Amino acid sequence: MTDEKILIVDDEDMIRTLCAQILSDRGYEVHTASNGITALEELRKSPVDLIVTDIKMPGMDGLDLLERVRAEGHDSVVIFITGYGTIDTAVESLMRGVDGFVLKPFTEKQLITSVERAIKRSRMEKENIRLKALIPLFEISKLLVPELDLGAIFTMITNIVVQEFSADRVSLMLLNETTGILEIRASHGFSSPDVPLAKKPGEGISEFVFLHRTPVLISPENIQDTEITARLNKNDPARSSMSVPLSGKNSVFGVLNITRISGRAFTTSDLQVASILATQVAAALENATLFRHLQDHYVRTVQALVAAVEAKDPYTCLHSINVATYAVEIGRDIGLNKSQLEEIRIAAMLHDIGKIGVSDVIISKPERLSYEEFNVMKDHSEHGIRILDPIGFPPEILQAIHQHHERYDGKGYPYGLAGEEISLGARILNIADAIDAMISRRPYHETISNQEVLQELEREAGKQFDPRIAESARRLIQQGQLKPVSYCMPAGAKEDAGKK
């Protein structure tokens, strides 16, 4: 018994029955059709490995059937049975992609030999397709699995799909759990601003794939399912497309759509490869989402600890929130992208976490610190890295926290780095931290006016501060865009403190 399925297509009952009997006796699963149209209907219901078809048939002949089979994306091997073997017919058949001939009248041995040769070729082609697919999928897996940044995964997926499938358009849609709508989170090839960024429940092919949890292969010639037909965009010029669900352990959470505007239609083999890729994509997204949830939970925990540390000193309460506000505004002004701004925000919120490892006596001391106490306080950036490093924060965040007390002139700590040896995030935090210290009331100084802050930024540019970032901060202050979010007012402090 073999696993291959064969479709016999011939308008002569005797030939059709004879071929079916011979091949069934050899263990093949055999289906029959009396004409080309019926054959296509059979193929749409269930793909086959081999089609054995007569050439001369009324209505749709064998050559037309072969062309329709290829156009609809079926990757079955095809051999012709013909009693009209001519050179011209053979040449035309080979040019259209036929895989063999059986000339009438034929013996049982001739039929079996031709079929076995074609089946062997079918097996080799499928194995080659699988190997061809698995090699890049293995490489893709090595790229996707360790990646934990969702934005990077989105970009990686679209680039991979465009390259591996020669796709003209790609969209990655994920479920918005709040609205219940599929939203495009990454795309390629959509030039029209009218392309919707989301699909409402029950709308479009992607929603069908999502609801039924099944992949769909679409080309103009093979649409028979009325529910799918009703969901097609009649104005879409797509030649062929595939939509595959992104399934996790317990649910479907998205859809990957792949489209060709022109060229060869996608085949069932392409759909199999896309489904395998979708499995890897789903695993990578689940890993990244889980990591983000864990990281967010950790950040909230750490922020609570930072708040507890800052609460010990009423003069620095909400300091990290204000520093984050200034740092993000400065970062935006100097052209950082969304991902970099988020890194700056997180680093600013956590920049003083290392003070957890510093004595309460030093943190809460109302007077200026002694030399020895200041040296102890300087260790807080090292403490911070020891707390945060095991969590897997991006190096940009850790560097910003670790180096935020370095000075542009190399006279800072902990390593005495200078200029652009200091990470950009740390140079931004250095200024944001200093600004909040200047305009906040402290036990050793009152708040100072904006004009005095501007003068200090100008005076320390090239010394404590990166000149470019200092100029950005000066510009934002002058424009009124750099303001603290809030203050905790120490007992006895004036209500207008810090508002000059």
User: Any idea where the domains of the chain sit in the sequence?
Assistant: 5-123, 145-285, 312-478
Residues whose CB falls within 8 Å of the CB of residue 137, separated by 6 or more in sequence, listed in order: 273, 276, 277, 280
What are 430-472's pLDDT values in tens digits? 999 999 988 876 655 667 788 999 999 999 999 999 999 999 9
How many whole angstroms separate alpha carbon 351 and alpha carbon 327? 12
Pick one of 1.10.10.10, 1.10.3210.10, 3.30.559.10, 3.40.50.300 as the CATH number of 312-478.
Answer: 1.10.3210.10
What CATH code would you report for 145-285?
Answer: 3.30.450.40
Please tell me the distance from the alpha carbon of residue 51 to that of residue 23, in angstroms, as a whole number: 12
Q: How many CB atoms lie within 10 A of CB 81?
A: 24
Burial of 338 (0-12, 13-18, 19+ CB in 10 A): exposed
Please enumerate, as own/partner, the contacts of 224-229 that have beta carbons within 8 Å and a separation of 24 or more.
Answer: 224/41, 224/44
pLDDT band at 70 (very low <50, low <70, confident <90, very high): confident
Q: Take residue 55 and report the two structure tokens written for it.
A: 């050439």
pLDDT over 50 (residue 174): yes
H helical segments located in 32-149: 36-45, 62-71, 87-96, 108-144
Q: What are the residue ranges of helices labelled H in 246-352?
A: 268-311, 319-333, 338-350
Contact 257, 236 (CB under 8 A): no
Q: Which residue has the higher pLDDT, 230 or 77?
A: 77
5-123 is a CATH 3.40.50.2300 domain: yes
Describe the crossing of helices 450-460 and 467-478 by its angle, rounded to 10 degrees: 160
Q: Average the pLDDT over 411-416 and give the result.
A: 94
Q: What pLDDT sits at residue 393?
A: 79
Contacts of 156 (CB under 8 A, 6+ apart): 143, 144, 147
Dist CA 194 CA 448 (whole Å): 52
What is the tens place of the pLDDT at every residue in 346-369?
Answer: 899 889 888 878 887 887 777 788
* Average of per-residue pLDDT across 222-234: 59
Which residues are 328's β-sheet partners? Answer: none
The three-class DSSP label of residue 4 is coil
Q: What is the pLDDT of residues 250-262, one digit of tens each?
A: 778 889 999 988 7
pLDDT band at 198; cut points 50, 70, 90? low
Given pLDDT bands bounded at 50, 70 and 90, which one contains residue 492? very low
Where residue 227 falls among pLDDT bands split at 50, 70, 90? low
For 416, the token pair is 């005495």
* More confident site: 94 or 274: 274
CB 323 within 8 A of CB 348: yes
State how far the Cα of 380 lies from the Cα of 414, in Å rounded to an integer: 10
Lowest mean pLDDT among 45-54, 119-128, 135-144, 409-418: 135-144
Strand partners, 31: 7
CA distance from start to end of the chain: 89
Q: How far is CA 220 from the centre of its chain?
A: 29
